[in-house]
């Protein structure tokens, strides 16, 4: 398991800084303004699973549907998020993400807060 360090965007721009993924990784999501950038350089599609940490919806919200699975086609990029803290954060304020394919798949986290 790896832990991503969120990067802060700015008005002059930042270059991508993707790192190899593990089958299960985490990243901090304190204020909920985080985006996960996934690049699938593999010849196969990759399913990215964002773990839903709770099965109880907060007051006024509809019930949750469980984990979120996002398909990232071979040779493409996707930006996923933002992640609602009350749904996706664990007790330490981290989001857990899993990958069905890890070879040639890279990711980075951008914190827009």
Number of domains observed in the structure of the chain = 1
Q: Provide the residue range defining the domain that includes 8.
A: 2-55+64-111
Q: What is the dihedral of CA 99, 100, 104, 110, to 10 degrees?
A: -20
Q: What is the pLDDT of residues 39-73, one digit of tens each?
A: 999 999 999 999 999 866 666 666 666 899 999 99
User: What's the CATH code of the domain at 25?
Assistant: 2.60.290
pLDDT digit string, tens, across residues 15-29: 999 999 999 999 999
What token pair was written down for 98?
A: 């899993």
Distances from the Cα of 111 to the Cαs of 12, 43, 44, 61, in angstroms?
Answer: 16, 29, 28, 25
């Amino acid at each position: 398991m790896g832990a991503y360090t969120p990067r802060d965007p700015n008005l002059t721009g930042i270059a991508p800084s993707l790192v190899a993924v593990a089958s299960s990784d985490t990243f901090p999501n304190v204020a909920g303004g985080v985006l996960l950038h996934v690049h699938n350089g593999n010849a196969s599609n990759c399913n990215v699973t964002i773990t839903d940490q709770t099965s109880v919806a907060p007051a006024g919200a509809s019930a949750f549907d469980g984990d979120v699975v996002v398909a990232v086609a071979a040779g493409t990029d996707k930006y996923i998020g933002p992640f609602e803290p009350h749904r996706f954060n664990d007790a330490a304020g981290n989001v857990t993400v899993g990958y069905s394919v890890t070879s040639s798949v890279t990711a980075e986290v951008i914190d827009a807060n």
